A and B are shown apart, each in its own frame.
Chain A
Amino acid sequence: MKMLKTFTAWASVTLAIFVLQTMTSNAQTPKLADDEIASVAVVANKGDIGFAQIAQKKSKNAEILKFAHTMASDHQAVIDQAVALVTKLKVTPKDNAVSKKMVADNAKTQKMLNSKSAKDFDKAYIDNEVAYHKAVINAVETILIPQAQNAELKGLLQQVVPTLKAHLQHAEMVQTEISK
């Protein structure tokens, strides 16, 4: 039982790290055009809203619920900004290898979270939030910002980084809090 728990925690973290590695390893750093970057940005934000919605259904912990509420509203605010910008720029977000991989990985994470017992859910959720935000920050800083061509798109991505970093710090705080 202990081994299984350790394994699932390990698996959720590894999943996010895998995204990070596939997205940042030198051999296969993907080259993305602005419409593809927009798609990755929207998918990454939608992913975290999906996780938050599961938390809002499954958790009873006040700290987790508060954190999930912040995630849902902040990531929706970022999506709204991104949609407003691409509409203005007349760009249509375009699926690509990175966004497709993220969609698939996020679906697996959702499945994992949904399968958790009430007792194990909070830890699984917050561990994944820490790992997911680390992976997304890395992707935004090393792929999306450097490759963005349009100055406004680059600017929006740069504005999102402090938000993601505050989320990561917040997640780490909750992680420490619930492990007590």
Chain B
Amino acid sequence: MMSIRTFGGNALVLVFPLIILAGCSTTPTPEKYKPKTFTIEIYQMKFQPALLTVHKGDTVEWVNKDIVSHDVTQVPNNLWSSSNLLPGKSWKMAVEETDDYYCSIHVVMVGKLIVE
């Protein structure tokens, strides 16, 4: 038993530096996350998609493709808002945290951003 353990220990000592060396050559430091941009269309009185999952720091752009004005406003505390978006206009924001939002002009229009 004893001799096998010693052998195993020696083997590990030999193998470890190899793993570390291999690791260094293929993957240097872990890649820094590159923020992405997502588009939410406001169309036919809906946020499309109404539910969107992003990473912290990603940008979301809302584009009003309807024939009436809309806005994008955080609920329930009004923490952020696009203010009035005329047809054809868009607004973007870097997402910091999970939030619910709605259109304060048409209160039945709701959406959610989830930061994972």
Contact = CB atoms under 8 A, between A and B. Distances in A.
B82 interface: no
Contacts of A89: none
Contact of B68 (A77, A165, A170, A173): A77
Interface stretch (B6-14, B91-99, B102-110): B102-110
Given A73-B69, A77-B68, A77-B87, A163 B105 contact: no
Contacts of B45: 162-163, 165-166
Interface residues of B, number: 13
Contacts of B108: 166, 169-170, 173
A72 to B, nearest CB: 11
A38 interface: no
B21 to A, nearest CB: 62
Chain B, interface SS category: loop
Contacts of B109: 166
A166 B67 CA distance: 13
A70 B108 CA distance: 12
Nearest to B106: A166
A163 B107 contact: no
A92 interface: no
A81 interface: yes
B37 interface: no
B72 to A, nearest CB: 15
Nearest to A70: B105
Interface in A127-177: 156, 159-160, 162-163, 165-167, 169-170, 173
Interface of B: 44-46, 66-69, 87, 105-109
22 contacts: A70-B105, A73-B68, A73-B105, A74-B68, A74-B69, A77-B68, A77-B87, A78-B67, A156-B67, A159-B66, A159-B67, A160-B67, A162-B45, A163-B45, A163-B66, A165-B45, A166-B45, A166-B106, A166-B109, A167-B106, A169-B108, A173-B107
Given A81-B67, A159-B44, A159-B67, 15 more contacts: A70-B106, A73-B68, A73-B105, A74-B69, A77-B69, A78-B68, A162-B44, A162-B45, A162-B46, A163-B68, A165-B45, A166-B106, A166-B108, A169-B108, A170-B108
